[in-house]
Amino acid sequence: MNLFDLTGRVAVITGGNGGIGLGIAQALAGQGCNVSIWGRNADKNEAAAASMAGLSGKVDSRVCDVTDPASVNAAMKATLDTFGRVDGCFANAGIGGGGRRSFIERTEEEWRTMFATNLDGVFHAFQAAARHMTERANAGDPFGRLVATSSLASIFGTARNEHYAATKAAINALVRALGVELARHGVTANAILPGWIKSDMTAGIMANEKFVANVMPRIPQRRFGEASDFGGIAVYLMSKASSYHTADTFVIDGGYTAF
C-alpha cells in the first residue's frame, strides 16, 4: 500500500466544519480516509460534509459538545457503529484569546471557560479515541493517531491573551505525555501549530488597519498560510510514514514571526 493511501482508515475531527479543521477533513477524505466531523452546530457540520461528497472517502458528521464527556462518548459510539473503527482523532475545537484585558483583570468565569473549551475538549476526545485504539491494539491491530491543533502562543506567549497561551501549552504537555504512554500500543501523539491561516474565521483580520500596518509586514512574504497546508501534515500523520514521529510539534508557515 502506498504510504499516503489512507483508504479504509477512519478519522474523527472535532471542530472540522470550518477553517483548519475543514482543510484537514478535505485532505484526509481526498486520500480515501473516512471522516467523521464533530461539532456543536449541526447545520455547519452537514454543510461541511456535503462539500466533500465527491471525494473518495466517506464523510459524515455528529453533533457533539467536546466539553461534555457524555456527548463525546455518544459521538464515538455512533462513529464506531457507522465505520467500525477510528484510526485518528484530530482535536481542533477551541476558542481564541477572547479579548484584550490583562491577566489581573480576568474573571474566574473567563478562565474556566477558556480551559473547558480548549483543554477539556482535547482531553475528552483523546481519551475516547485512545480507549478504542488501545483496545484494538490489544486485539492485534496496533494503529492510532492523536493530533491536537495547538498554537504558537504556547511557545512564545501572547500579550493580553495569556490564559489562551496557558491552555495551549497544557495541550502540548498532554501530547508529550501521551506520546510516551501510548507508544507501546502503536498510537502516536503530535501537535500542529498554525501561523496565520486563511479561513472564514480570520477573514475579518484584514479589515483591521492596525493589524495590516503593524503585523503583516513581519509575516514572511506578507503571506497567510492555507488550511490545505495543515491538510498535508494531517495526511502524513495518518500514514504509516509517521509511525516513528510522536510527541512532535509541526510548525506551519513560520507564523511566530508575526509576534
Instruction: Show the cell assigned to 42.
Output: 449541526
Q: How far is the C-alpha of 44 from the C-alpha of 197, rounded, in Å?
A: 20
Residue 230: C-alpha distances to residues 5, 66, 76, 238 (Å): 17, 21, 24, 12
User: 167 and 96 in contact (C-beta within 8 Å)?
Assistant: no
Question: Catalytic: which of 164, 236, 244, 256?
Answer: 164
Whether residue 236 lies in the annotated active site: no
Q: How far is the C-alpha of 97 from the C-alpha of 213, rounded, in Å?
A: 21
**Given the C-alpha cell 466517506, which residue does it identify?**
58
Q: How far is the C-alpha of 231 from the C-alpha of 164, rounded, in Å?
A: 24
Q: How far is the C-alpha of 46 from the C-alpha of 17, rounded, in Å?
A: 8
Q: What does DSSP assign to residue 144?
A: E
Catalytic residues: 164
